[in-house]
Amino acid sequence: MLYADSHLHTNPLKGIGAKAVAERFIKSGGWFVAIVSLPPTSLGLDPSLEGFTKSLELTISECRAAREKGLRVSCLGGYHPAMVDKMIDKLGMKLEEAYEVSIKSIDMAIKYIKKGVLDGIAEIGRPHYQVKPHYVVLADMILDYALEGVRDVDGIAHLHLEEGGWATAKDIESRVKRLRIKRERIAMHHAKPGLAEYALSMGIPVTIPALYPIIKAISGKLGEGIYMFESDYIDDPSRPGKVIYPWEVAENTEKAMKEGLLDEEKAYRIHIDNISKFYLVSPP
């Protein structure tokens, strides 16, 4: 059995980096990863246009390193909604300044998609923790702008959202219709039980954290639609193994198969068929 990790981060400045991640994941049966840019603050950079630029450049370099080790890679970068309050509260930007920097960072990611060095934008959306109400409004404005951008270049988008169940899924479905976006090109990232099944019922792909308790809770609810497993690994030595290591995606899938939670057909669909459909990569 071969395994895929549909959303992870690597940190070449503070963590083990893409080469080490790729080597270890390949040993566990890994064939594909989607590498997502880290927010500038996770790299020790300011959430400024310069910081976003450096983050994107590092991500592209990390994707190249993982490919050189033998993994098939989808490279995603751009903007994290947690940067809204960081720009305003940490750097003292006005709302309009924070919006302008955010838009420029997304424009930069779109340019890289056009050049063929990025496959999409991730992870855009709303903060999943409590912030001032107008910060959520700003995040929603940025989300729409980014979705229109990836629509126009036929790119991928990973969405970072609150766990709002039906309301969160319905909001995204409404945006997809209003903005005329191909729903098969966007995915609700870090979708847990209570959100994932609503998204799938609306035809929206999801990436599900491959923590064993989550696999156990969601396994009986996976029917139609595009669903994939992710580690959401952040490669931060101060928080080792957060959320899980990429190779644990393989380990937890194998454990679920041994315990009868997933059969081989469903595991193959999660790790190969759905990955190939969503990321438009040839299966191994």
pLDDT tens profile 57-96:
999 999 999 999 999 999 999 889 999 999 999 889 999 9
Residue 247 pLDDT: 98
CA dihedral 238→211→7→195, nearest 10 degrees, is: -120
pLDDT of residue 241: 87
Predicted model pTM: 0.96
pLDDT in tens, 140-161: 999 999 999 999 999 999 999 9
Residue 217 CB-density burial (10 A; 0-12 exposed, 13-18 middle, 19+ buried): middle
Q: Which of 46-50, 128-132, 238-242, 269-273 has the highest mean pLDDT?
A: 269-273
pLDDT tier at 129, thresholds 50, 70, 90: confident
pLDDT of 133: 93
How far apart are alpha carbons 212 and 35 in whole angstroms?
Answer: 22
- CATH homologous superfamily for the domain 3-279: Metal-dependent hydrolases (3.20.20.140)
- Cα angle for residues 181, 284, 266 (degrees, 5° grid): 70
Residue 204 contacts residue 183 (beta carbons within 8 Å): yes
* Helix or strand holding residue 159 (H, E): strand 156-160
CA–CA gap between residue 163 and residue 270 (Å, rounded): 22
Predicted local distance difference test score (pLDDT) of residue 225: 95
Q: Model confidence over 18-61: pLDDT tens digits?
A: 999 999 999 999 999 999 999 999 999 988 999 999 999 999 99
Distances (CA, A) of 241 to 184, 235, 238: 30, 7, 10
**Angle made by CA atoms 197, 193, 179, in degrees to the nearest 5:** 50
pLDDT, position 168 = 97
Residues 217 and 100: their CA atoms lie apart, in Å, by 41
pLDDT digits (tens, 9 = 90+) for 169-182: 999 999 999 999 99
Checking if the pLDDT of 135 tops 90, the result is: yes
Q: Are strands 206-209 and 120-125 parallel, antiparallel or unpaired?
A: unpaired
CA dist 48 to 99, 125, 275, Å? Answer: 11, 18, 33
Tally of CA atoms within 13 A in the half-sphere of 257 that contains its CB: 16
* In the chain, where the domains are located: 3-279
